[in-house]
Amino acid sequence: MSQHRVIVVGGGLAGLSASVRIAEAGLPVDLFSLVPVKRSHSVCAQGGINACNEVARQQGFSEYEHFDETIYGGDFLADQHPVLEMANWAPKIIDLLDRMGVPFNRTSEGNRDLRLFGGSLFKRTHFAGATTGQQLIYALDEQVRRYEAEGKVNKYEFWEFLGPIIHEGRAVGIVAQDMRTMQIRSFRADAVVMATGGCGLVYGKSTMSVMCTGAAAARCFRAGAWYGNPEMIQVHPTAIPGADKLRLMSESARGEGGRVWVPRKAKDPRDPKQIPESERWYFLEEKYPAYGNIVPRDIATREIFDVCVNMGLGVGGENQVYLDLTHRDPDYLTRKLGGILEIYEKFVGDDPRFTPMKIFPAVHYSMGGLWTTYTKGSYNPQTALPKHKSGSPAPIDAKVGMGMQLGAPNNSMTNIPGLYAFGEVNFAYHGANRLGANALLSCIFDGLFCGVSVFNYVKNEAPGKAPAEGLASGAFDESVSRETARMKSLVDSASAGASDPATNPYAIGKELGDEMTAACTVVRTETRVKQCLTKIAELKDRYAKVKLSDSAGWTNQSFSYARAVGDMLAVAEAIALGSLERRESRGAHYRSDYPDRNDAEFMKTSLAKHEGGKTTLEFVPIDASLVAPTARTYGKKDTKKPEMAGAAS
Amino acid sequence: MTEASRRRAMAKANRVVTFRIKRCDGPGKASYWQDFKVTVPKNANVISCLQQIAANPVTADGKPTTPVVWDSGCLEEVCGACTMVINGKVRQSCSCLIDDYAPNEGDVMTLEPMSKFPVVRDLWVDRSRLFHNLKRVQAWVPIDGTYYLGAGPKETPASQATHYVLSTCMSCGCCLEACPQFNEIPDQGSKEANEAAWNKGFIGAHAISQARLFNAHETGKELKEERLDVLMGTGGVNDCGNAQNCVKVCPKHIPLTESIAVIGRQVTFHAIAKFFKG
């Protein structure tokens, strides 16, 4: 008997929570992942997961304030209703994870411990050591394994998603390839959930895992799905520079008291511990007395960049600043931050409990992603409220369905019916800048809350309600032939050994990464971004003649990578186009030639579309009917450059 | 300065290191060795050297070849993917800094795939058996679904600290590679046949330790009896030969031998209880 089924692509927090929720509701799930799902990039999340909690509540915090912080942190770019629903649901998600056995840190009475995180004056971040993402994904991985053992979830690990199959305007399956045998085949489904994460590899080196190329999102984009706010790329202020990757140093290091500083004297050769307090510049604490070192990420990043690149005050004259925890008790640090301190010691060799760490910003998160829609909930005030005063009573209760309507089939659905985007690949929640410890939340929220929407769509809305299993094979066969031909043309180009850098996929990928990092990260200008678009066009021409060094029909990794480079170029073009057309500064997007936020023209989603091989960009209005925009200053005070720095520059 | 940082400070910048890599084109094909010369900057790790080889696959004697294939993910030692045998010892390749292993010009490093799992290609192995063994011990908490049912059980900080360490197991397979009792089971041709064969083989320290974790959880202990049934059977905890290699190679310092002892005791009590119950 034919049956409805759902495909989930990606086995990180979003994909796993979606799989659990949809399988539990009674639809079989086929789960596709490039890696065994337990190894997905979610493992890298360190700091924690935000939610209103009883202690904070009694101090005056509320779900509403969490919502308000997220909107303000995102610099008023997100549609506001979905964010409200997410903040309202957060405490339930923590309780569920707790039931699943996540070893959250505990207080002496056995309650869940809390820590301070960027963008809030309240402790609202729950954590499991300094490997919270790893612990959350393990809990969900275990639940999925349980369903797998019961036959409700079928895993396709080491399978690469090549594209959605669209029939009569709706998603009816995917085409995918086994990365070991190289078999290409189609899979049918009544709905497809993309949960494929971010696109850090477009920048070459980032804090992301090696599979975060953005290729899966690009394949949907090229098939007609819209891409929202591509230019909104978060650069994390604190990462450990490395040859193969920039390893994250969690914001929790600052949340637990870490202080960012540079020597007041440029290129001061002294050991940091020999530099007296009076000769250190704690620039974040001086400029932002209220938030100090826990200002949001985009602000910390720009200040660090400014101190190093513009003032030349980086430690040892290089692009790095100190992140100092040495004033804290070493045992306390081990207990609260053990995992991340160990990573630093492993890769650098110094023990951060006794030696200040050297860090610099790195590309970390894509706020932008596939554009999705939703059905508004029941809370719709006459006029948008002013910014919430921190610690004051919430204007509304946190009831289910005030932000988004529970179970509405279009929640987190792309413009292609039946094609959903959950987690980081969904553009919806973080606006122009994501607050620390909100990512894990948005992934799991999408999976659990919008998983219900997927179920309802399949049961009630999918045209004819007949399972995709019964459709004629035309669209499926066609997608397999197209991908097989594409593979053949790439593999046929192969000859062993090194190819000319002009057509070497690794060289093209590296040049793309270098160019994007130089043009589309911390500070952007019209001139530089235009130059970047020209470079992307050149790389596209070279990519058309790309040559592989491996013609193997078995586990051909260089082929997979080369194919992804073509998709990375498409994402890069959308990012650069957004960076060019958004002629203002907002959140992570800072244009030195347009340094102010311009709500009249740009409090809008930038929407990239790909038609006939061409990418275009337009701006569409957002729904900001809940909170009125205010200037996002985090109480910054004007400070003078330190005198000694002036002398050095 | 720690010892590691002192050693790393001594390593020469941009020295040439030879990577001797055990290669295999696919299942059933013979393995062979190839040497590659890589110019190594300070602070490089095995991954960044493999990336150089992939972009420029030419052997030490100048012959063009195919790029070396390997498995990797997070590159910060939390995902477990890039595990391989380096200079004879199993570990993650991302956290393996060349400065520690080959500080001088002309030094040689050997890279081999793990030997207890079937090779897919070159350094990439198929660790499905490891994940299957987590199913054998039902390594999960049997919750009543994902609907809102309030918080989980309270836990003391001391108990959390114990469980957290057990819960950092990233399924890398180091403990299995080092274990004399855990041996490769060749591919049986189908998923079902493989699973049947794996069910008879030693389950491994990682799965025993996960059983300990979930047996200790307030809700997880609901499945304790079933887990112990499996662990007292073929391939269970009694197959452990007490070599204690597992605990020495675990990159996350999980007290695996302690877990084996805890489960050993639980299995003994379980067996006695079963005997008296009939």
Which tens digit of pLDDT belongs to each residue from A76-122? 999 999 999 999 999 999 999 999 999 999 999 999 999 988 888 99
The whole-number pLDDT of residue B147 equals 93
Set of chain B residues whose Cβ sits within 8 Å of the Cβ of A31: none
Q: CB distance A145–B135 less than 8 Å? A: yes
Helix (H) or strand (E) holding B16, with range, is strand B15-23
Cβ–Cβ under 8 Å, residues B205 and B175: yes
Which tens digit of pLDDT belongs to each residue from A412-426? 999 999 999 999 999
The whole-number pLDDT of residue A2 equals 63
Set of chain B residues whose Cβ sits within 8 Å of the Cβ of A504: 55
Structure tokens at A371: 């554009």
Residue A479 clears pLDDT 60, i.e. is over it: yes
How many separate domains does chain B show?
A: 2
Per the DSSP assignment, residues forming a β-bridge with A114 are A126
Chain A: closest CA distance from residue B187 (Å): 15
Chain A: residue nearest B214 by CA?
A: A101
Q: Touching check for A247 and chain B: CB below 8 Å?
A: yes
Q: Do B167 and B107 share a structural domain?
A: no
Range of the domain at B22: 3-121
A517-521: long-range contacts at Cβ-Cβ below 8 A with a sequence spacing of 24 or more? Answer: A517/A203, A517/A204, A517/A205, A517/A363, A519/A576, A519/A579, A520/A231, A520/A233, A520/A575, A520/A576, A520/A579, A521/A203, A521/A233, A521/A235, A521/A361, A521/A363
Q: Do B147 and B102 share a structural domain?
A: no
| Buried/exposed A221-248: b ≥16 CB within 10 Å, e otherwise | bbbbbbbbbbbbbbbbbbbbbbbbbbbb
Set of chain A residues whose Cβ sits within 8 Å of the Cβ of B54: 506, 557-558, 561
- The list of chain B residues with pLDDT below 70 reads 1-2
User: CA-to-CA distance for A536 and A566, rounded, in angstroms?
Assistant: 11
Q: CB distance B146–A498 less than 8 Å? A: no
User: What is the pLDDT averaged over residues A444-455?
Assistant: 98
Which tens digit of pLDDT belongs to each residue from A491-508? 998 987 767 999 999 999
Cβ–Cβ under 8 Å, residues B246 and B178: yes
The active-site residue out of A115, A247, A297, A353 is A297
In terms of pTM, does the model score above 0.90? yes
Rg of chain A, C-alpha, whole Å = 24
Q: Do B139 and B109 share a structural domain?
A: no
- Of A596-605, A637-646, B139-148, B264-273, the one with minimum mean pLDDT is A637-646
Residue A521 clears pLDDT 80, i.e. is over it: yes
Q: Touching check for B155 and chain A: CB below 8 Å?
A: yes
Q: Which of B54, B87, B121 is the last residue of a domain?
A: B121
The whole-number pLDDT of residue A328 equals 96
Set of chain A residues whose Cβ sits within 8 Å of the Cβ of B57: 496-498, 549-550
Residue A125 clears pLDDT 60, i.e. is over it: yes
Q: Touching check for A547 and chain B: CB below 8 Å?
A: no
Q: Do B200 and B96 share a structural domain?
A: no
User: CA-to-CA distance for B136 and B142, rounded, in angstroms?
Assistant: 14
The whole-number pLDDT of residue B175 equals 98
Give A647's pLDDT tier (boundaries 50, 70, 90).
very low
Q: Do B135 and B272 share a structural domain?
A: yes
For residue B137, the domain's CATH number is 1.10.1060.10
Q: CB distance B74–A39 less than 8 Å? A: yes
Q: Do B137 and B112 share a structural domain?
A: no
Give A47's pLDDT tier (boundaries 50, 70, 90).
confident
Cβ–Cβ under 8 Å, residues A490 and A499: no
Helix (H) or strand (E) holding B263, with range, is helix B256-277
Q: Which of B95, B121, B147 is the last residue of a domain?
A: B121
User: CA-to-CA distance for A459 and A411, rounded, in angstroms?
Assistant: 15
User: CA-to-CA distance for A314 and A310, rounded, in angstroms?
Assistant: 10
Structure tokens at A437: 């410890």
Residue A296 dihedral angles phi and psi, to the nearest 5°:
-60, 165
Q: Do B139 and B273 share a structural domain?
A: yes
Give A464's pLDDT tier (boundaries 50, 70, 90).
low
Q: Do B237 and B138 share a structural domain?
A: yes
Residue A264 clears pLDDT 90, i.e. is over it: yes
Q: Do B176 and B49 share a structural domain?
A: no
Cβ–Cβ under 8 Å, residues B263 and B211: yes
Helix (H) or strand (E) holding A185, with range, is strand A184-188
Q: CB distance A349–B2 less than 8 Å? A: yes
Helix (H) or strand (E) holding A56, with range, is helix A54-58
Q: CB distance B141–A504 less than 8 Å? A: no
The number of beta carbons lying within 10 Å of the beta carbon of residue A510 is: 17
Q: Do B107 and B173 share a structural domain?
A: no
Positive or negative: CA dihedral B104, B105, B107, B108: positive
Q: Touching check for A339 and chain B: CB below 8 Å?
A: yes
User: CA-to-CA distance for A338 and A602, rounded, in angstroms?
Assistant: 43
Residue type, A292: G
A335-338: long-range contacts at Cβ-Cβ below 8 A with a sequence spacing of 24 or more? Answer: A335/B161, A336/A105, A336/A115, A336/A129, A336/A130, A336/A252, A336/A256, A337/A129, A337/A130, A337/A250, A337/A252, A337/A253, A337/A256, A338/A129, A338/A130
Give A217's pLDDT tier (boundaries 50, 70, 90).
very high
Closest CB from B57, B74, B155 relative to A497 = B57
Q: Do B228 and B167 share a structural domain?
A: yes
Q: CB distance B78–A448 less than 8 Å? A: no
Average pLDDT, chain A: 94
Residues in chain A: 649
- Residue B226, SS3? helix
Cβ–Cβ under 8 Å, residues A233 and A367: yes
User: CA-to-CA distance for A134 and A138, rounded, in angstroms?
Assistant: 6
Q: Which of B105, B121, B137 is the last residue of a domain?
A: B121
Cβ–Cβ under 8 Å, residues A174 and A32: yes
Q: Do B133 and B239 share a structural domain?
A: yes
Residue A39 annotated to the active site: no
Set of chain A residues whose Cβ sits within 8 Å of the Cβ of B72: 210
For residue B34, the domain's CATH number is 3.10.20.30
Residue A398 clears pLDDT 80, i.e. is over it: yes
Closest CB from A109, A138, A347 relative to B95 = A347
Find, among A364, A360, A130, the residue nearest to A240 by Cα.
Answer: A360
Set of chain B residues whose Cβ sits within 8 Å of the Cβ of A101: 140-141, 152, 167, 214, 217, 219-220
